[in-house]
């Protein structure tokens, strides 16, 4: 790849152009979060002022706690369910329909999922609250976990399971001692993915949320409706830091998975 | 001192299908205690299915497997005193060599110090004492195989199954492991059953070989008997090189349509009608003048140091004839020679449709 790039200068240019397009807005936002002035058009020295205002803003803190509850809960549930679904699909079926249906929630437009879930909750007369967002998030993050774990399963050796049985292990022991550890990197990657997806999910949360427990993205939305304040820049920078770290860890895990 | 060999495994009338394909067709076999047994055949002959049934990964359609009189057929893999060394070795990648080997013993819930001493002991047997803490990914192919072997024999099974044990190794390590397996089998006193498609591998290691053909057992014999006294032309063709002639059985041999009478031996078998005559390359020789012989032309001479192979052609036959001679030969390409053999060494075999006209 690098050889190819060094030979074709125009390709390199396109590459850097693409990255600039992707990252300049983000870097501008990060830079602004440290700008002491209120307006992005005035530069007034480096400052942590907006970060300080941010952590004293009770709306933001409340939203953050709500988001962390939803993200943690949905990650735990979707990781367990998604892993089980992936193992089940891998072992007991070759049906392309079942496989497609298991992964579909990841691709279905959020708005469709959001409206659908809202309709379902209404039908079941479930009053909306944090838990309704949590379960809604499980629906789509489970599909992501399933996809990641299934990809790993495709690479694992079915003979490992047979070897374990051959050496006298029961089915349970084989699952706990052989299958799970060899899936661990993929499960962890799936969990991190589920966590970051839930962390900044807006559309579905917007539809399935109760009035008194907004998640962080909803809080941010209500804040920016009347203009972007530098406080939001600070918040966005922090969120990005968390997402980036998670994505990098997830990628490293997937790479570890592939190397074996 | 000779004692009657006792059967360890008695396989009776095993039949198994994969979908519409018959993988095993009424297979019966005895495997004796402490022997090195080989299941030999081309891919698709059913040898791997038989191995998987022995290990407990497949349940046969009909038939039974008994181990020292105990019926194994319904017993799951983890309850059988049988271990399998997988072709891919199937070492657990997330465990060290030591943990891999201890795994089977931990499943038996043995005390910790016994597990440790048995792991140490088996590592010494396979010569990998210094690799206890290594991961499988840090080992060479030959070392991985030793770990796989150690992991299986540490369980002290009654029967050890080996699936194509040498196929993943390069040539040099291969011949080393071949000797090693044989030594180990004698040392640990476990019955070994090797599945292989490689006749040299089977011939050099096994005490007895079952040649499998299309889901059936073609012949079970010692390597020497399989080579010298094959029952069918198929087995004869599969084991080693051979020159085959087709003809009709007459009292002294077979009558070939263009070569006339070719003398051969029936070895007491009742064969009539169409038949094959088999002569191994080393049983052919160039005749002195005056003997009954067939004129031939030398097509090629291959010199292997210890022996030479002459490739001859004769009139009225398309397939070349191979003649093996010790040392170098004076024959050269294009030379006219006379070909002969001893009647004792030419074997008449019943007509086998799998070997069409030669």
The helix (H) or strand (E) run that includes residue A99 is helix A96-103
- DSSP class of A175: I
* Lateral strand order in the sheet of B191-196: B82-85, B159-163, B191-196, B36-40, B208-213, B216-221
Structural domains of chain B, ranges and CATH numbers in brackets: 7-228 (3.40.50.300), 233-350 (2.40.50.140)
Mean pLDDT of A23-29: 90
CB-based contact B155 A168, cutoff 8 Å? yes
Q: Which among B78, B88, B137 is the nearest to A169, CB-wise?
A: B78
- Interacting residues of A63 by C-beta distance below 8 A, sequence separation 6+: A214, A215, A216, A218, A219, A220
Q: How many CB atoms lie within 10 A of CB B58?
A: 18
How do residues A216-227 score in pLDDT, each as one tens digit? Answer: 999 988 888 877
CA angle B341, B344, B348 (to 5 degrees): 90
Instruction: Provide the pLDDT for residue B351.
Output: 85
Which residues are CB-neighbours of B97 under 8 A, at least 6 positions away?
B123, B128, B131, B132, B133, B134, B135, B136, B139, B147
Q: How far is A157 from chain B, CA to nearest CA, in Å? A: 7
The more confident residue out of A136 and B265 is A136
Spatial distance between the Cα atoms of B135 and B47, rounded to a whole number of angstroms: 32
If pLDDT is split at 50, 70 and 90, which confidence band does B290 have? low
Q: Tell me which residue in B55, B91, B93 faces A166 most closely, judged by beta carbons.
A: B55
What's the Cα-to-Cα distance from A65 to each of A62, A132, A172, A219, B34, rounded to whole Å?
5, 16, 37, 12, 69
Mean pLDDT of chain A: 87
pLDDT > 90? residue B264: no
CATH architecture of A58-259: Orthogonal Bundle (1.10)
For an interface test with B, the pick among A156, A159, A163, A185 (most B C-beta atoms closer than 10 Å) comes out as A163
State mean pLDDT over A132-138.
94
Closest B-chain CA to A184: B94
DSSP conformation letters of B201-231: HHHHH-SEEEEEETTEEEEEE-HHHHHHS-S
The complex's ipTM works out to 0.82
pLDDT (mean) for B52-59: 93
> Which residues of chain B make contact with A167, given a CB cutoff of 8 A?
78, 83, 103-104, 107, 151-152, 155
Q: Is A260 on the interface with B (CB under 8 A)?
A: yes
Residue B33 banded pLDDT, cuts 50, 70, 90? very high
* pLDDT mean over A107-126: 92
Across B96-116, average pLDDT: 94
Instruction: Tell me the C-alpha distance between B91 and B144, whole Å.
Output: 8
Phi and psi at residue A27, to the nearest 5°: -65, -35
User: What's the sign of the alpha-carbon dihedral A81, A83, A85, A88?
Assistant: negative
Based on its alpha-carbon atoms, the radius of gyration of chain A, rounded to whole angstroms, reads 22
What is the rounded average pLDDT of the residues B30-54?
92
| Residues sharing a CB contact under 8 Å with residue A85, sequence separation 6 or more, in sequence order | A102, A142, A146
Do residues B78 and B32 touch, judged by C-beta distance below 8 A? no
Least confident of A102-106, A174-178, A251-255, B179-183: A251-255
CA B68-B73-B77 angle, to 5 degrees, is 95
Of A168, A170, A178, the CB nearest to B92: A178
Q: What is the model's pLDDT at position B2?
A: 55
The answer on pLDDT for B289 being more than 80 is no
User: Across the interface, which of A159, A181, A184 has its CB nearest the CB of B90?
Assistant: A159
pLDDT at A3: 60
Share above pLDDT 70 across residues of chain B, in percent, rounded to a whole number: 97
CA distance A103 to chain B (A): 28
pLDDT in tens, B331-340: 888 888 888 8
Length of chain B: 358
Q: Chain A partners of B78 at a C-beta cutoff of 8 Å? A: 165-170
Output the pLDDT for position B334. 87
DSSP B283: G
pLDDT at A7 over 80: no
pLDDT computed for residue A139 by the predictor: 93
In angstroms, what separates the C-alpha of B94 from chain A's closest C-alpha?
7
pLDDT for residue B358 is more than 70:
no
Q: How many H helices and E strands in chain B?
A: 8, 20
| Nearest C-alpha in B relative to A183 | B94
Give per-residue pLDDT as tens, A39-58: 767 777 788 888 888 888 88
* Helix residue spans in chain B (DSSP H): 47-55, 97-107, 112-126, 141-153, 171-188, 199-205, 223-228, 233-238
B234-267 burial, b if ≥16 CB within 10 A, otherwise e? bbbbbbbebbbbbbebeeebbebeeeeebbbbbe
- pLDDT value at position B108? 92
Using 50, 70 and 90 to split pLDDT, how confident is the model at B295? confident
What pLDDT sits at residue A35?
A: 83
Q: What is the Cα gyration radius of chain B?
A: 24
Position B179 scores a pLDDT of: 86
**Block residue for tokens 């004769």:** B314
Q: With residue B64 as reference, give the H or E element that holds it.
A: strand B62-67
In this complex, which of A162, A168, A182 lies closest to B107 when CB atoms are compared? A168
**CB-CB: which of B79, B92, B104 is closest to A160?**
B92
A and B: number of Cβ contacts within 8 A: 59
Cβ of B151 under 8 Å from any chain A Cβ?
yes
At A118 the pLDDT is: 93
Q: What is the pLDDT of residue A198?
A: 92
Look up residue A37 and give its two tokens. 């002035």
Cα distances (angstroms) measured from residue A7 to each of A10, A14, A16, A17, A38 = 9, 14, 15, 17, 46
Taking the alpha carbons at both ends of chain A, their separation in whole angstroms is: 23
Q: Name, in order, each residue with C-beta under 8 angstroms of B86's C-beta and a sequence gap of 6 or more.
A: A159, A162, A163, B148, B163
Cβ B177 vs Cβ B165: under 8 Å:
yes
pLDDT recorded at residue B357: 38
Q: Which of B84-88, B171-175, B235-239 has the lowest mean pLDDT?
A: B171-175
Q: Is the pLDDT of residue A4 over 60?
A: no
Instruction: Using the predicted structure, report yes or no on whether residue A253 has a pLDDT greater than 80.
Output: no
Half-sphere exposure of B211 (CA within 13 A, CB side): 23
* DSSP H or E run through B30: strand B21-32
**If contacts are CB pairs under 8 Å, which of residues 27-56 in chain B contact chain A?**
55-56
C-alpha neighbours within 13 Å on the C-beta side of residue B201: 26
Query: pTM score, two decimals?
Result: 0.78
CA-wise closest residue to B14 among B219, B220, B215: B215
Q: What's chain B's average pLDDT?
A: 89
At B141 the pLDDT is 87
Mean pLDDT for B42-49 is 89
Strands B307-313 and B260-263: unpaired
Q: B127 at the A interface (CB within 8 A)?
A: no
The residues spanned by each domain of chain A are: 14-47, 58-259
């Amino acid at each position: 790849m690098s050889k190819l790039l060094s030979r074709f200068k125009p390709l390199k240019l396109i590459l850097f152009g693409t990255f600039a397009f992707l990252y300049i807005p983000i870097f501008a936002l990060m830079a602004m979060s440290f700008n002491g002035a209120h307006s992005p058009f005035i530069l007034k020295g480096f400052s942590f002022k907006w970060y300080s205002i941010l952590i004293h803003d009770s709306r933001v803190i409340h939203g953050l706690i709500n988001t962390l509850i939803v993200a943690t809960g949905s990650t735990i549930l979707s990781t367990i369910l998604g892993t089980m679904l992936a193992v089940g699909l891998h072992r007991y079926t070759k049906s392309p329909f079942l496989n497609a249906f298991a992964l579909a929630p990841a691709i279905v437009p959020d708005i469709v999922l959001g409206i659908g879930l809202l309709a379902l909750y209404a039908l079941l007369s479930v009053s909306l609250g944090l838990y309704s967002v949590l379960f809604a998030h499980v629906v789509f993050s489970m599909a992501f976990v399933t996809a990641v774990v299934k990809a790993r399963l495709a690479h694992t050796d079915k003979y490992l399971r047979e070897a374990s049985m051959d050496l006298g292990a029961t089915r349970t022991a084989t699952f706990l001692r052989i299958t799970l550890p060899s899936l661990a990197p993929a499960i962890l990657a799936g969990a991190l993915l589920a966590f970051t997806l839930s962390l900044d999910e807006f559309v579905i949360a917007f539809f399935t949320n109760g009035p008194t427990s907004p998640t962080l993205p909803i809080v941010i939305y209500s804040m920016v409706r009347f203009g972007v304040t530098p406080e939001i820049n600070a918040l966005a920078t922090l969120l990005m830091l968390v997402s980036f770290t998670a994505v990098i860890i997830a990628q490293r895990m997937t790479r570890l998975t592939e190397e074996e | 001192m000779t004692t009657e060999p006792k059967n360890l495994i008695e396989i009776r009338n095993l039949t198994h299908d994969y979908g519409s394909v018959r993988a095993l067709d009424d297979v019966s076999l005895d495997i004796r205690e402490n022997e090195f047994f080989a299941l030999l055949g081309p891919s698709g002959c059913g040898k791997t299915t038989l191995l998987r049934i022995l290990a407990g990964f497949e349940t046969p359609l009909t038939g039974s497997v008994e181990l020292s009189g105990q019926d194994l057929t319904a017993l799951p893999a983890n309850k059988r005193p049988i271990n399998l060394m997988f072709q891919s070795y199937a070492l657990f990648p997330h465990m060290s060599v030591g943990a891999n080997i201890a795994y089977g013993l931990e499943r038996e819930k043995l005390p910790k110090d016994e597990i440790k001493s048995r792991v140490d002991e088996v590592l010494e047997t396979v010569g990998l004492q210094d690799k206890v803490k290594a991961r499988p990914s840090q080992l060479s192919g030959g070392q991985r195989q030793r770990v796989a072997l150690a992991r299986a024999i540490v369980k002290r099974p009654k029967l050890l199954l080996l699936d194509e044990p040498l196929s993943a190794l390069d040539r040099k390590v291969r011949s080393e492991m071949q000797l090693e397996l044989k030594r180990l089998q004698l040392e640990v006193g476990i019955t070994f059953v090797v599945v292989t498609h490689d006749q040299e591998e089977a011939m050099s290691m096994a005490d007895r070989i079952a040649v499998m053909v299309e889901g059936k057992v073609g012949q079970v014999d010692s390597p020497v008997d399989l080579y010298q006294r094959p029952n069918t032309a198929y087995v004869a063709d599969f084991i080693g090189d051979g020159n085959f002639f087709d003809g009709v059985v007459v009292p002294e041999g077979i009558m070939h349509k263009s070569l006339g009478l070719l003398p051969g031996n029936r070895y007491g078998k009742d064969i009539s009608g169409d038949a094959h005559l088999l002569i191994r390359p080393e049983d052919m020789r160039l005749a002195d003048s005056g003997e009954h012989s067939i004129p031939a032309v030398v097509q090629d001479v291959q010199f292997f140091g210890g022996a030479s192979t002459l490739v001859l052609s004769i009139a009225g036959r398309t397939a070349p004839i191979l003649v093996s001679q010790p040392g170098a030969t004076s024959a050269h390409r294009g030379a006219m020679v006379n070909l002969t053999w001893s009647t004792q060494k030419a074997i008449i075999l019943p007509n086998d449709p799998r070997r069409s006209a030669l």
